[in-house]
Structure 1
Amino acid sequence: MIRYCSRITLALVALQSPYAYAAMQDQGPPPPPAAAAQRWTQLQLPLVRNGQLSGDIFAEVTSDGRIRFERASLLERLAPYLTPSGAETLSASFTGSAFLTPEELEAAGIILRYNPSLLEVAVERIDANLAAVQTLGPVITESRVPVTQQPEDFSAYLNVVGDFRLEDFETFEDPGVLVFGAARFKGVVVEFDGGYDKAITGGQGGFYRRSARAVYDEIDKLRRWSAGDLQLSGIPVMSGALLGGVAVEKGRRVFSGIGPVAQLGSQQILLDRDATVEVIIDGQQVQTLQLAAGPYDLSQLTSQYGGRNAQLFVTDVTGRRQLASFDPFFDPVDLGSGEEEYSAGIGFVAKAFEASPKYGGLPAFSGYYRRGMSNRLLLGGALQLSEDIQVAGAEVVVSPRNIPGRIEFSGAISTGDDFGYSLRGAYSLQVGRGTQGRQLSVSADYRSDRFQTLTDAIAGDRFETLNVTANYSQSLSERTTLVTGANWFHRPGFNSTHSVYADVIHRTQRFRITAGVEYGKGLNENRFGVRLGITVPLGGRTRAEANYNSRRETARAFVTRSYEDRVGSFGYDLGVRRSRNDASIDAIANYVGNRFYARGSVTTGGSGFGDIDERQQARLQLGSSIAIAGGDVAIGRPINDSFVIAKPHETAEPGQVVLGRSIQDKRFDALSGTLGPALGSRLQSYTRQNVTYDLINGPAGYDIGSGIDTVEPPYRSGYNITVGSDANVTAYGVLSIDGTPASLVAGSISSTDDEDFASQPFFTNSVGRFAIMGLRPGKTYQVRLTEPAGSYVIEVPADSQPLYQLGDIAITSAAAK
């Protein structure tokens, strides 16, 4: 029996042969397979050409794959692609035909392809004699599917994460509470990140603030205004700044939330929360670090892995995740000709990374400007000014016509107490793709010990450093890649490190193996060594990895299962690690609940496996969120950016709203219930996306509407969706005209007393069956037929159930009268 359905789903059931109604009303068994293959089922399908949506058309399909298109809706959607004379010719060719087959259309000069897996119809070709002139130029990639739901004027949310720690499996530390959230009123957003933790404040009170700011976006101009605790960007050679003040920023990369990692300089990062940091080289995890909040120097990692495809995958205790390169941990967006980006901020400079930002001194300025002068030339500059430090920098990125590849150069000087400078140059070349692909990159970074920026007060001591890297990769076959390279890192007062290496990476469906050799000089490292690594998928989202490096005398083996952001999903990471003077065993587990997120970790280690219990730590984080939008309050998992609250209409009780795409196999994002509406916590701002919903345990045959809304959320916004309405009646029956079934008849439906009812098309199937959705109890509706002309009235009882059976309806055509 049908329990709940969207309008499209119900239309599919109601417009099938009489056997569908017999089954729905428990009136008998289904027909034999041979008969079922000939049933026509009506669909509403999107018509797409060159990736662009034209609109929806009506069509009928059979279970054996045949399709025919409803003439009126198809001609309307094809009109923009046809010349006026072409539209007239096509219309005249099919006068009197209610439906058109693909063969008939191809004979007329139009080829359509139906994709049953995507449920869409693509326009493959239109004859030149029919086609309208098309404009050449850049392809517009943004979907033209209209936005159907707008955010609430006011919305807010608050994430709360409990942090529980156990040292040496004996001593419980004082628990911490992380609090971060935002409130939005129309276009203004106020956001806060802080909490209570005596371990962070050193026992002084316990309350702390990581950041608080107000934000206003002008998205049409790609511009953001902000005030409060600011993390400003800059050019790579001199980074940005941490200020307490006001700023304006413009550019595509501006419109994202603050991640767990901030860049302090070309070789320094700042973690604002305790985090797990995975070092990934050429797609393989080689190191996992459990780091406390604070600043960190990347120079040693750069000396080991610089020039290769090196990335950091950071997961903090709140569940935020960020993947980024650390060469030099800054990947500026390439700008097209005439495109620009900039940042300008004024305020007080952060002097130390403590529980809360500490500002001091006189106001300072930090800003940069980058512009694409052409498709081959990008210029940029940056300036930082304070009472003690003055820094100026410039950047050039060029792809010369006579020299293949891309050349980058940037430099900066600083004055104040001392004069210093920093230089960076890079060259990259990519030739071919696939099995013919080759890549070459060379880069050099130099920073004098007297060079300083506004962030150096937090980043710590300054050193003279020189880092040179070179990398070459080439595809040897579809599955095999060769990677070679060299790097040299120098810091006065420390032993210089240098190495050359060569790796071969081979991939199959069953495993990925890396084998290589390395020679060089480094701290506590052998001169020569081999590297071996293997990754084996274990099915689904689970994989096993192991790697060994004889030069560094390190070995790792672990099993990982990734998790999805859906209810009931879980993941884990079980690992064993061994180095020259250290050994550890650790486990991390993640679970995604309907109203909470949980992350737990256990680590035990020592100088060797015989002393593996020398140091032990266990940690558990439990996070939840409370949100408000449209006057409704919901509880769910922590929210990263924007969110949606969804609840059932009062007429849908005792139904529960389900958010997500895979509802039948119970793979959903959120579920309403005893604790209130469902809370979808993963909407991304300024990205057009769909919110899919359904109803379970609701009234039989209840009409929930389309089951999907298209949204484009502003920053930190909230939506409120009510699933269902009082227009939840679906009337179905069999129409006969002049004593015979009304086969494939079209018309329209309107209402005389339902002001909210919009006129909609009416169709019957090949045996006269029809379904009309979205009707209200106690209202009257009129059906008008076009071919042949006729009409009849439907009066919905005030106490009607969601499925209202009309039975047989017989009318007399105007011609017969």
Structure 2
Amino acid sequence: MKKTRYRHFYAIILLSLFLSELAFAEQKINPTGRDITLTSLLRISDSVIGETDITITAEDDILLPKQATLDVLETLVDEDVLNALSSNVVGDNLSQVDFDRVGLGLTFEFSTLECVISIPNDKMLTQQLSMGRGSPYTDYLPPSVLSGFLNVTLSNSLNQSVDENTDQQHNQNHRFESALNYKRLSLEYESTYDDIDGLGANYLREGTRLNLDFPDAGSRLVLGDMFNSGTLFQSSADIAGIGLTRDFSLIATKNVRPTAAQSFTLTRTSSVDVVIDGSVVQRFTLNAGTYNLNDIPIAQGLNNISLVITDASGQTEEISFSVATGSELLNTGEFEYAFMLGAPRTFEGDRLRYDTDKRLIMGNVEFGAAPWLTIGVNGQQLYDVYQYGGNVLFATSLGVTELHASQSEHPVFGAGNAFRFAFDADIPESNTWLNQFSVLYDQLTPNFAGTDDVDTVQDTTTNQEPLNSVQHFLSVFAAFQLSSDYRSSFSANLSKGHRESDNYWSASPSFSGPVFDSDATWSTRVDYQRFDNGDDELSGTFTLSWPLGSKTRVVSRFQSENRFSGLDVNYQDAVGNTGGISAFASVENQESSDANLNASVDYTGNRYQASVNHATRYSDINEDVRTHNTRVNVSSAIAFSGTEVAIGRKIGEAFAVVSKHPTLGENRIAVDPSEDEQYARVFFEGSSNVLVSDLAAYSDQIISYHVENLPPGYDLGDGGFALYPGYRQGYALKIGSDAVITAMGTLINKRTSSPIGLVAGMAHYLDGEGIAPLEFFTNRQGRFAISGLRPGNYELVLNTTAKQTLTLSIDSVDDTFVRLGELYVD
């Protein structure tokens, strides 16, 4: 981030006022008696988005330029609030009173010299997908041209079986992930090493690929091993070949953002609470990156699901997946696509096998034809199996409707087709009882085929079984807000298939609410299934979720199916920070086993992550028949960026190697500290570089830092780094510099022997090129201070009618605070 144009200018005002003997110096921001205009950083909540001109009036009111501020807020604030702020203000400036009137906040942070606009959640504008490369209001630091890393995860497990005899087996499973990045080009390599008692050791290469990113177009070209999950009716594909994708999930717009109905992006390591039917039933930790709902370990068949995600700074967001449609509307003229061509690959035992005799081709394109209409086409081909189709997503005043249709051609089974209709109602916020309503209908003919069915082409046996057992499936879901505290939902499914056993209908009502006036919640769910053959199944689930403070939660579950009962205890503290701990313990009992005991502890160190997991299964406590499984994992990484090297925690999408200037060699530094400064992303002890390993690709981030026992007068500049990393890119960041000297003095007019008061000036460095001049300002007594000086010679140029200059020399001294005394100017 570039230094703000007038940041030192404003700092001089504050510093000189502090030293002034005037009584009002500690009370007034602007002592000049006239309006002054300067430039300051502008921050929205916790994100610095750029610079802004501010006017400090003689009465100490702070004004922002109206039009420029409205342009910034246009993508952040609800349209009604923006219109009110625009129409109710007369003149060219916005004041704190204007912001208060529309429910926004405007303050000035003296500790960071930033203007801060606060926007309540209910007045925020829902972020739209964008092709823009980060915020246009921020100057980002460039990544290193060449960088790379190696992740190493060492695992060792012990499996024991105790009955009449005791058997045990050791299993070492080590994983290696590496990447080398040059500008927008990255080379990735993954492998594993297994050593199991009695089976010997085995090293397996799992994947190698070359990625070339075009971030301004949201596109990625891949050559090598890759995976594509396909569209709705397409088969997923694991191939070695070439692929080109344009995917908005590569470009996140905020910390937690649904990129479709089934995916979301995190910019920080975060803790995740899985909420089903209104109660938290599971907690776990996710690193920075983009995730799909399929990546979350939750039970299938439940559709009233939401995730409460809390990042390391304590910010919380909730996203819901209780929707039928699987996509979001694209903006007009925007499109997404994915194309792949290559040979299918499979894992066979201890090696990869590439079926080079076959060629798989697959692709899909979606286009935003209008703000309310998105259309798409897709297709894939392998051997003599073809599949192609299209989809339409459109919005009306009633809600969003999605239509999918697909056709297949199979040389043995012939033609087949598939169809989906999905509808999500647009429930107005004024509706106090119905929160959600969704309908989904799937229809598949028995012989609808995908590329997964290619092996049946060469099957010479007569197979009378259909490829798809379920041919019609209908699902309806509704969620109700019974009161401010109590909620309910209802889902019903109807399935028709080739066999009678495939035909059934089901109904599942659920209810949830608080336990008295506490933060605890309860939920109950009843599932009834009726089969055409006359059988029926009735089961019920009761969940009690009780938080014990902000770090610990107890969850108890009871299910009539399999006579299951369980008690879970979760503890999380400082997730994503050095010293963070996540612990879990549970005890379960069910029909098939007397007791299941589970426990795990994860610890985040400054340069590593470690975890211990243990599970004990008692199939028969009376007979003392049990199994034990204990697993220990330790992971770390070594990375380089430019000429800087560091060891730290396992790297995700992008990283930064952080060093510090020798002038701060003995100072302890907290990189990205928490608000109470008790924790930090990493701590800088000693002189060895540290690694920030969990940067999210294609998402703007501010990496702040706090230096303990900072020498008086030491200027840290902006106090943070503004980053917009590409995939697998690394940064080389340095905290501190030799421009750390603050000089103070008093300017005296040589002819009149009077102070030169209330004059601005520039300090030009004479001993080198490319050094930006520093601004300063004198108070009424002619006193001034200049921060950010380095040893050498400077020319001071005063902004007076008759140009006045002065040359001074700053010696290389250990003290970062220099008193110049009285300086006489011609």
Same fold at TM > 0.5: yes
Partners of 2:505 and 2:530 within 8 A in 1: yes
- Range with bigger deviation, 591-600 or 466-475: 466-475
- Who is 1:345 aligned against? 340
CA apart distance, 1:787:
8.0
Counterpart of 2:469, as a letter, is E
- Who is 2:136 aligned against? 144
- Secondary structure at 2:234 match in 1: coil
- Who is 1:548 aligned against? 558
Q: Residues 308-361 of structure 1, C-alpha deviation per residue, up to 9 Å, x if partnerless?
A: 337899xxxxxxxxx996989x94343223322222211111245655442213
Pick one of 684, 706, 709 that aligns with 2:696.
684
CA distance in 1, matches of 2:189, 2:644: 22
- Who is 1:559 aligned against? 569
Q: Residues 439-490 of structure 1, C-alpha deviation per residue, up to 9 Å, x if partnerless?
A: 211213345564432345899x965135432111122333332211112456
- Range with bigger deviation, 360-369 or 535-544: 535-544
Pick one of 141, 163, 169 that aligns with 2:155.
163
Partners of 2:495 and 2:502 within 8 A in 1: no
- Range with bigger deviation, 153-162 or 657-666: 657-666
Partners of 1:694 and 1:704 within 8 A in 2: no
- Range with bigger deviation, 163-172 or 579-588: 163-172
Pick one of 555, 575, 583 that aligns with 1:572.
583
Pick one of 805, 808, 815 that aligns with 2:819.
805
Task: Quickly say closer, same or farther: Cα 1:107–1:675, change in 2 above 3 A.
Answer: closer
The 5-angstrom pairing of residues 612-631 of structure 1 reads 614-631=626-643
- Who is 2:507 aligned against? 500
Task: Quickly say closer, same or farther: Cα 1:746–1:586, change in 2 above 3 A.
Answer: same
CA distance in 2, matches of 1:769, 1:713: 43
CA distance in 1, matches of 2:114, 2:795: 31
Partners of 1:449 and 1:464 within 8 A in 2: yes
Task: Quickly say closer, same or farther: Cα 1:702–1:349, change in 2 above 3 A.
Answer: same
CA apart distance, 1:728:
2.2
Counterpart of 2:512, as a letter, is I
The 5-angstrom pairing of residues 285-434 of structure 1 reads 305-309=301-305, 331-352=326-347, 354-360=349-355, 361-399=357-395, 404-419=399-414, 420-433=416-429
Task: Quickly say closer, same or farther: Cα 1:342–1:145, change in 2 above 3 A.
Answer: same
Partners of 1:435 and 1:477 within 8 A in 2: no
- Range with bigger deviation, 203-212 or 710-719: 203-212
- Secondary structure at 2:331 match in 1: coil
- Who is 1:750 aligned against? 764
Task: Quickly say closer, same or farther: Cα 1:148–1:305, change in 2 above 3 A.
Answer: closer
CA distance in 1, matches of 2:116, 2:186: 41
Counterpart of 1:505, as a letter, is S
CA distance in 1, matches of 2:676, 2:9: 16
- Who is 1:536 aligned against? 546
Counterpart of 1:539, as a letter, is G
- Secondary structure at 1:143 match in 2: coil
CA distance in 1, matches of 2:228, 2:659: 39
Q: Residues 246-279 of structure 1, C-alpha deviation per residue, up to 9 Å, x if partnerless?
A: 11112313569xxxxxxxxx99xxxxxxxx9997
- Secondary structure at 2:511 match in 1: strand
Partners of 1:312 and 1:326 within 8 A in 2: no
Partners of 2:174 and 2:194 within 8 A in 1: yes
Q: Residues 564-585 of structure 1, C-alpha deviation per residue, up to 9 Å, x if partnerless?
A: 2111111112222233323312
TM-score, L = length of structure 1: 0.76
- Who is 1:513 aligned against? 522
- Who is 2:79 aligned against? none
Task: Quickly say closer, same or farther: Cα 1:706–1:509, change in 2 above 3 A.
Answer: farther
- Secondary structure at 1:253 match in 2: helix
Task: Quickly say closer, same or farther: Cα 1:516–1:239, change in 2 above 3 A.
Answer: same
Partners of 1:536 and 1:544 within 8 A in 2: yes
Task: Quickly say closer, same or farther: Cα 1:241–1:527, change in 2 above 3 A.
Answer: closer
Partners of 2:582 and 2:603 within 8 A in 1: yes
Q: Residues 741-794 of structure 1, C-alpha deviation per residue, up to 9 Å, x if partnerless?
A: 666442222233343431232124566543212212132332424389755433
Q: Residues 658-688 of structure 1, C-alpha deviation per residue, up to 9 Å, x if partnerless?
A: 4214387242112344582111111111112
Q: Residues 202-243 of structure 1, C-alpha deviation per residue, up to 9 Å, x if partnerless?
A: 946511122211111122222211111111242212243111
- Secondary structure at 1:519 match in 2: strand
- Secondary structure at 2:249 match in 1: helix
- Secondary structure at 1:471 match in 2: strand
Q: Residues 170-215 of structure 1, C-alpha deviation per residue, up to 9 Å, x if partnerless?
A: 7351322100121111221111122211359x94651112221111
- Who is 2:94 aligned against? 111
CA distance in 1, matches of 2:230, 2:742: 59
The answer to whether 1:795 aligns with 2:813 is: no
Task: State the Cα RMSD in Å.
Answer: 4.6
- Who is 1:177 aligned against? 174
Task: Quickly say closer, same or farther: Cα 1:163–1:417, change in 2 above 3 A.
Answer: farther
Task: Quickly say closer, same or farther: Cα 1:677–1:430, change in 2 above 3 A.
Answer: same
CA distance in 1, matches of 2:569, 2:328: 35
CA distance in 1, matches of 2:710, 2:522: 52
Q: Residues 362-398 of structure 1, C-alpha deviation per residue, up to 9 Å, x if partnerless?
A: 2221112222232333322222212242222322323
Counterpart of 1:358, as a letter, is R
Task: Quickly say closer, same or farther: Cα 1:769–1:482, change in 2 above 3 A.
Answer: farther
Aligned length: 713
The 5-angstrom pairing of residues 719-734 of structure 1 reads 719-734=731-746
CA distance in 2, matches of 1:794, 1:382: 71
- Who is 2:234 aligned against? 238
- Range with bigger deviation, 629-638 or 174-183: 174-183
Counterpart of 1:18, as a letter, is L
CA apart distance, 1:53:
5.5
- Range with bigger deviation, 594-603 or 382-391: 382-391
Counterpart of 1:725, as a letter, is S
CA apart distance, 1:592:
0.9
Task: Quickly say closer, same or farther: Cα 1:576–1:496, change in 2 above 3 A.
Answer: farther
- Secondary structure at 1:500 match in 2: strand
CA distance in 2, matches of 1:753, 1:537: 62
Task: Quickly say closer, same or farther: Cα 1:464–1:7, change in 2 above 3 A.
Answer: farther
CA distance in 2, matches of 1:767, 1:39: 16
- Range with bigger deviation, 596-605 or 575-584: 575-584
Counterpart of 1:464, as a letter, is S
The answer to whether 1:581 aligns with 2:588 is: no
Please list every run of 5 or more consecutive structure 2 residues that lacks an aligned counterpart in the other structure.
1-6, 32-37, 71-88, 97-105, 119-129, 162-166, 253-260, 263-270, 285-292, 310-318, 457-465
Task: Quickly say closer, same or farther: Cα 1:423–1:546, change in 2 above 3 A.
Answer: same
Task: Quickly say closer, same or farther: Cα 1:447–1:599, change in 2 above 3 A.
Answer: farther
- Secondary structure at 1:17 match in 2: helix
- Secondary structure at 1:220 match in 2: helix
CA distance in 2, matches of 1:37, 1:509: 46
- Who is 1:319 aligned against? none
Counterpart of 1:482, as a letter, is S
Q: Residues 7-42 of structure 1, C-alpha deviation per residue, up to 9 Å, x if partnerless?
A: 79986984452399xxxxxxxxxx9xx989636599
- Secondary structure at 2:792 match in 1: coil
The answer to whether 1:762 aligns with 2:776 is: yes
CA apart distance, 1:603:
1.1
CA apart distance, 1:729:
1.5
TM-score, L = length of structure 2: 0.75
